Amino acid sequence: MSGAITDLDWRGHPGSLVISGARAFDSRAGLDERRDIVIREGRIAELAPVGEGKAPEGAERIDAEGLLATPAFFDPHVHLRHIGQSHKEDVETGTRSAAAGGYCGVIAMANTAPPTDEPEVIAAMREQAADQAAVPTGFVATVTVGMRGEELTEMAALREAGAVGFSDDGLPLRSAQVFRRALQYQHLVGGNILLHEEDPNLSAGGVMGEGEVSAELGMAGVPDVSESTMISRDAALCLYEGARAHVQHLSGRRSVEAIEFAKQQGSPITAEVTPHHLVLTDEAVRSLDARFKMNPPLRTEDDRQALIDALRSGTIDCIGTDHAPHASHEKEIPFEQAMMGVTGLETAFSVIYTDLIEPGVLGLDTILEGLTSGAALFDLEVPSLQPDAEANVTLIDLEAEWEAGAEGWESRSANSCFAGRRLRSRPVTTIVAGSVAYRQRAYRMGAVA
Amino acid sequence: MRDLLAISDLSRGEIEQICERAASFAAVGQREIKKVPTLRGRTIVTLFYESSTRTSASFELAAKRLSADVISIKAQGSSVDKGESLKDTVATLTAYDPEAIVIRSPEAGAAQLVAGWTDASVVNAGDGKHEHPSQALLDTYTLLDRLGPLDGKQIWVVGDIAHSRVARSCVRAFGLMGAEVTVAGPPTLIPRGFGEALGCEVRYDLDEIGSADVIYALRMQLERMSESYVPSLREYAAAYQIGPRRLGSRQLLMHPGPVNRGVELAPEVIDGPASLITAQVRNGLLVRMAILYEILAGTDRPRPVRSIDGGGDAARDSEDSPTIGEPA
């Protein structure tokens, strides 16, 4: 049973549009040709020959000549800091950042301050999203009360209130027994469980990936087995209970191997990778710049290659940014003291395009599938350009060149590990259910038909 | 040389230059008046976020021997105690226009960050477990003074490698000077990948330490026991303590101090004829004078103009400064 992405809360409303002359690209539908995309009341009505798409009464016609039109992206993993940390981000700025990155929907994590562990809080957040969110936003609740890893939250009541799933992201579920109970409860309440995998004993004190670079810099490393051993444990529990879970942000080869093995065994587990783990390694930490500090940490070139191969082969199911805003005073301090996490929504596509697609490492189809398939984790329709699909479309200028962060960010925070980099390609317009959620300033405007 | 942040930034030639400069200051220490006017009118700030005796004392004394004005700031009792960030502290100190800031911090990379925030020269007096370049330079000087060129010399660094900035700087410096370096210690206290990363041998026992020309013992911190890196001090001492049995007559012994007597070193060897420990402390002053001299008076390279927060005018009083060659 799939729902529409706009079943999630947002401030917009379905609309009608014609996108004229773009190269319509949807690899799942085998589509790659210039078309007029006609959108009526939030759904794709027709893919007409160029110049022949008839705009519904009063609808805007967007001249998209020279642009790529793709299913809009869906991010299963962002931190909107929506409770207690509005100096970093909030629902409004975070979703604006998502829209600017080409995203038609995001799932906000529950490690707020205090953690999102009560049905009333989910209800209040949904109301806030309905009022402020630039794109549809779903909220997960924590798996355990206060993220303490001990007692389960009221999962049924939280689902009733609209939580799309459960996650203690930011922290692992230390207790296998607690995780097992949550999986058992899933048979009653549904909803996915998102896992931040890390053995807290093995990772204790670590601030970067363990390896030659950490040895050289004298900083405590987090070994890759801290992640992979927990994945193996949890995948086995998923298989045993016949219940699903999703492993967030894989960082190493051993984690990829653990997922691969689990899937071969038939474990109903899925996995995600971030753009920064796909394009950066621990060599970046030599700069001692805390913008390269995140959890899980950047690892070696061999690990990066394993992640790329796993995305290509389908072992990794989707790309999530783990957009994690922090204020400058939380990052412009020595590396070991700085907060973990980087922003990512506004650079995700461009960074991957620049470093992986244009050089021919990964195909546009693989990446666009990875950037959209996160919706399926929450039983939502995966964005598509096929007639009758909800009209979630991103227009991308593949020729664009820009410097990340030079014009500022939509996000309230600037802790991007790509700031200052010259990037190729840029999402210029994001359409959610036929309504423009983001339009790059100075982008040429179409006439209303 | 503008800043001294890490041995990994230096070439063999630069290390030799500092050591030659230190040798030239040795004579000054023999005079009745031990001061030279080289840095008269210059201000040097030492900023110590960690307790230190010899490093802070010798930097302060080195600056005074060169006739600089010195401000010494310790974290305790300063605005740092009141929660001021490193960046704000540096901005405040920079407002006094110091020529150099000497910083010791418990965090790796702190000195490098500071160098980006101030137009003063920055000297790293120890950053976390990362580097302690002035220590490695004084150790190199001490060895050159005693042994001559280090090419082909066998140097063993023994102890808690993982938590030692001294080990990281010394392994690099000794290697740059042509020595063959081996690190030895409990497997729990040598990080994975250390040998590959720093280009040295790794041993978990001292069976072949007889081949060493120099044994450099590191301080064993007592809190490592509670973190189960080693089961007990007794077991550590049995396996890794340098005592009369392990120290051959032609071998030299070094230690960065402060020593845990009876743990990493047996009391007999500390004051024995092979020990360079007192020479290390004495040379520390000369080498730190040489570092301050090279950074503030010894270079012919133009000083890049940096300003903080885009607001400051980086051009400063420079009539008699050989280090400022750049027009405003």
pLDDT single digits (tens) A82-134: 999 999 999 999 999 999 999 999 999 999 999 999 999 999 999 999 999 99
The alpha carbon of residue A212 is apart from the nearest alpha carbon of chain B, in Å, by 5
Phi, psi of B4 (to 5 degrees): -120, 100
Strand spans (E) along A298-411: 318-319, 393-403
Q: Does the residue A352 lie in any domain?
A: yes
Residues A41 and A81 in one domain: no
ipTM of the predicted assembly exceeds 0.90: no
Give the nearest chain A residue to B90 (CA atoms). Answer: A333
Domain count, chain A: 2
Q: How many CB pairs under 8 A join A and B?
A: 73
Per-residue confidence band for A147, with pLDDT thresholds at 50, 70 and 90: very high
User: Are B154 and B183 a contacting pair, CB within 8 Å?
Assistant: no
Q: Does the residue A384 lie in any domain?
A: no
Give the C-alpha separation, B26 to B132, whole Å. Answer: 22
Give the nearest chain B residue to A212 (CA atoms). Answer: B193
Give the C-alpha separation, A11 to A127, whole Å. Answer: 10
Give the nearest chain A residue to B8 (CA atoms). Answer: A216
- pLDDT score, position B309: 44
Residues B267 and B151 in one domain: yes
Domain that holds residue B124: 7-131+284-296
Please, which residues bridge with residue A351 across strands?
A: none
Give the C-alpha separation, A296 to A254, whole Å. Answer: 13
Q: Going by DSSP bridges, is the β-strand pair A60-63/A68-71 parallel, antiparallel, or unpaired?
A: unpaired
Residues A174 and A317 in one domain: yes
- Which member of B87, B113, B197 has the closest CB to residue A216? B197
Residue A448, pLDDT above cutoff 60: no
Candidate from A2-16, A369-383, B68-82, B144-158 with smallest mean pLDDT: B68-82
Residues 106-165 of A with CB under 8 A from B: none
All residues of chain B having their beta carbon less than 8 Å from the beta carbon of residue A329 are 85, 87
Phi, psi of A48 (to 5 degrees): -95, 155
All residues of chain B having their beta carbon less than 8 Å from the beta carbon of residue A218 are 108, 128-131, 163-165, 168
Question: The dihedral of CA A282, A284, A287, A293: what is its sign?
Answer: negative
Please, which residues bridge with residue A18 across strands?
A: A38, A61
- pLDDT score, position A2: 81
Per-residue confidence band for A442, with pLDDT thresholds at 50, 70 and 90: low
Please, which residues bridge with residue A270 across strands?
A: A246
For residues A140-166, give the mean pLDDT. 97
Residues of B near A (Cβ–Cβ under 8 Å) read 8, 85-87, 105, 107-110, 112-113, 127-131, 163-165, 168, 191-194, 196-198
Residues A79 and A15 in one domain: no
* CA–CA distances in Å: residue A218 to residues A8, A299, B162, B174: 46, 16, 7, 18
All residues of chain A having their beta carbon less than 8 Å from the beta carbon of residue B105 are 334
* Angle subtended at Cα A283 by Cα A279 and Cα A284, rounded to the nearest 5 degrees: 65
Residues B112 and B139 in one domain: no
CB of A212 less than 8 A from some CB of B: yes
CATH number, domain at A21?
A: 2.30.40.10
Tokens (6 digits) for B142: 């001490």
Look at A219 and B110 and tell me if their CB atoms are within 8 Å.
Answer: no
- Rounded to the nearest integer, the mean pLDDT of chain A is 96
Residue B311, pLDDT above cutoff 50: no
Give the C-alpha separation, A361 to A278, whole Å. Answer: 11
CB of A206 less than 8 A from some CB of B: no
Q: Report the share of chain A in percent with pLDDT over 90.
A: 96
Give the C-alpha separation, A424 to A399, whole Å. Answer: 7
Look at A215 and B191 and tell me if their CB atoms are within 8 Å.
Answer: yes
Give the C-alpha separation, A147 to A186, whole Å. Answer: 18
Look at B107 and A336 and tell me if their CB atoms are within 8 Å.
Answer: yes
Residues A14 and A142 in one domain: no
Please, which residues bridge with residue A208 across strands?
A: A221
CATH number, domain at B187?
A: 3.40.50.1370
Give the C-alpha separation, A94 to A80, whole Å. Answer: 6
Strand spans (E) along A253-407: 269-273, 318-319, 393-403
Give the nearest chain B residue to A285 (CA atoms). Answer: B109
Tokens (6 digits) for A248: 């967030």
Q: Does the residue B308 lie in any domain?
A: no
Look at B86 and A333 and tell me if their CB atoms are within 8 Å.
Answer: yes
Residue B220, pLDDT above cutoff 70: yes
Domain that holds residue A133: 72-378
Q: Is A379 a catalytic residue?
A: no
pLDDT single digits (tens) A337-385: 999 999 999 999 999 999 999 999 999 999 999 999 999 999 999 999 9
Give the list of residues 6+ apart from residue B321 with CB closer than 8 angstroms, or none: none
Query: Which pTM was predicted?
Result: 0.91
For residues A283-290, give the mean pLDDT. 96
- pLDDT score, position B321: 38
Look at B129 and A332 and tell me if their CB atoms are within 8 Å.
Answer: no
- pLDDT score, position B250: 94
Q: Does the residue B261 lie in any domain?
A: yes
Residue A186, pLDDT above cutoff 60: yes
Phi, psi of B80 (to 5 degrees): -60, -40
All residues of chain A having their beta carbon less than 8 Å from the beta carbon of residue B127 are 334
Question: Is the bond preceding residue A114 a cis peptide, omega within 30 degrees?
Answer: yes
Residues A408 and A368 in one domain: no
User: Are A213 and A240 a contacting pair, CB within 8 Å?
Assistant: no
CB of A286 less than 8 A from some CB of B: no
Residues A204 and A146 in one domain: yes
User: Are B138 and B284 a contacting pair, CB within 8 Å?
Assistant: yes
Q: Does the residue B151 lie in any domain?
A: yes
From the candidates A169, A322, A355, A397, which is the catalytic residue? A322
Tokens (6 digits) for B255: 């230690």
DSSP string, B206-257: -TTGGG-SEEEEPP--GGGTTTTSSS-HHHHHHHH-B-TTTS-TT-EEE--S
Q: Does the residue A383 lie in any domain?
A: no
Biggest alpha carbon distance in chain B?
63
Residue B150, pLDDT above cutoff 90: yes
pLDDT single digits (tens) A292-319: 999 999 999 999 999 999 999 999 999 9
Q: Does the residue B205 lie in any domain?
A: yes
Q: Does the residue B234 lie in any domain?
A: yes
Q: Does the residue A444 lie in any domain?
A: no
User: Are A111 and A151 a contacting pair, CB within 8 Å?
Assistant: no
Interface test with A, best of B192, B223, B226 (most A CBs within 10 A): B192
Residue in B58, B102, B106, B49 with CA at minimum distance from that of residue B77: B49
Give the C-alpha separation, A117 to A367, whole Å. Answer: 33
All residues of chain B having their beta carbon less than 8 Å from the beta carbon of residue A334 are 86, 105, 107-110, 113, 127-128
Q: Give the rounded distance of the alpha carbon of B217 from its chain centre.
A: 15
Question: What end-to-end distance do the CA atoms of chain B give, in Å?
Answer: 20
pLDDT single digits (tens) A21-40: 999 999 999 999 999 999 99
The alpha carbon of residue A347 is apart from the nearest alpha carbon of chain B, in Å, by 25
Domain count, chain B: 2
Residue A444, pLDDT above cutoff 80: no
Look at A218 and B86 and tell me if their CB atoms are within 8 Å.
Answer: no
User: Are A60 and A449 a contacting pair, CB within 8 Å?
Assistant: yes
Give the C-alpha separation, A434 to A19, whole Å. Answer: 10
Residues B87 and B225 in one domain: no
Per-residue confidence band for B327, with pLDDT thresholds at 50, 70 and 90: very low
pLDDT single digits (tens) B10-28: 999 999 999 999 999 998 8
User: Are B314 and B307 a contacting pair, CB within 8 Å?
Assistant: yes
Give the C-alpha separation, A158 to A166, whole Å. Answer: 9
Phi, psi of B211 (to 5 degrees): -80, -10
Give the C-alpha separation, A94 to A88, whole Å. Answer: 9
Residues A296 and A425 in one domain: no
- Give the torsion through C-alpha atoms of A307, A313, A317, A321, to 10 deg: 30
All residues of chain B having their beta carbon less than 8 Å from the beta carbon of residue A327 are none
pLDDT single digits (tens) A201-235: 999 999 999 999 999 999 999 999 999 999 999 99
Look at A219 and B130 and tell me if their CB atoms are within 8 Å.
Answer: yes
Residues A24 and A154 in one domain: no
Give the C-alpha separation, A293 to A309, whole Å. Answer: 24
Interface test with A, best of B113, B163, B196, B309 (most A CBs within 10 A): B113
Q: Does the residue B322 lie in any domain?
A: no
| B29 or B315: which leads in pLDDT | B29
Q: Does the residue A118 lie in any domain?
A: yes
Biggest alpha carbon distance in chain A?
66
Q: Does the residue B36 lie in any domain?
A: yes
The alpha carbon of residue B86 is apart from the nearest alpha carbon of chain A, in Å, by 7
Give the residue carrying structure tokens 């191969």: A309
CB of A399 less than 8 A from some CB of B: no
Q: Does the residue B311 lie in any domain?
A: no
Residues A122 and A174 in one domain: yes
User: Are B240 and B209 a contacting pair, CB within 8 Å?
Assistant: no
- pLDDT score, position B231: 87
All residues of chain B having their beta carbon less than 8 Å from the beta carbon of residue A337 are 107
